[in-house]
Every structure is written in C-alpha cells, then in structure tokens.
Amino acid sequence: MQVEITVKVNGHVVGEHVKQVDGTLEQMEEAIDAMSREVACAALQAGVDAVAPPRPLFQNRAENCDIRDTDSGR
C-alpha cells in the first residue's frame, strides 16, 4: 500500500512523505513507525524555523531528528 502524509504548519506545507509499505504486518508497522518519526522531525524543524531570531536554546530529545538552526529564506 502507498502511504502519503502531508505536514502543514500554520497552513503552509512543510513536508510531504510518500512511502510504499509492503510485507508482513510487522514490517509494515515498522515502516509506518519510521515514517511517523520523519513527519515529527519535519514538523519540529518547521516550528524551529518559525521562531524569529534570536532563538532560545533547546535540547534535541529525539535521536533520529536532525533539528538545526536554519535560515528559511529570511
């Protein structure tokens, strides 16, 4: 099956995740779980990007998220 997730923050699309998920139920569960972590990272990154500088310090609590201070076209 094809799973598609679109991430919007404040009405703006910040990420689209599409993945073909096949296999056993356990394999599909693992693939969808990994996809949900990617979506969470995209939403968190968009939240960080939405904060105007100077940005407060934060702790990176998710192991798989590469959250970084970016300049989103400002």
Q: What is the pLDDT of residues 10-46, one digit of tens each?
A: 888 888 989 999 999 999 999 999 999 988 888 888 8
Q: Residue 17 is which amino acid?
A: H
Number of Cβ within a 10 Å radius of residue 40:
14
Tokens of 1: 């099956």
- Kindly tell me if the per-residue pLDDT of 5 is higher than 80: yes
Q: The pTM is what?
A: 0.60
Q: Are 62 and 43 in contact (CB under 8 A)?
A: no
Which of the two residues, 18 and 74, has the higher pLDDT score? 18
C-alpha distance from residue 73 to each of 9, 12, 54 (Å): 16, 14, 16
What pLDDT is recorded for position 53?
76
What pLDDT is recorded for position 46?
85
Which of the two residues, 72 and 52, has the higher pLDDT score? 52
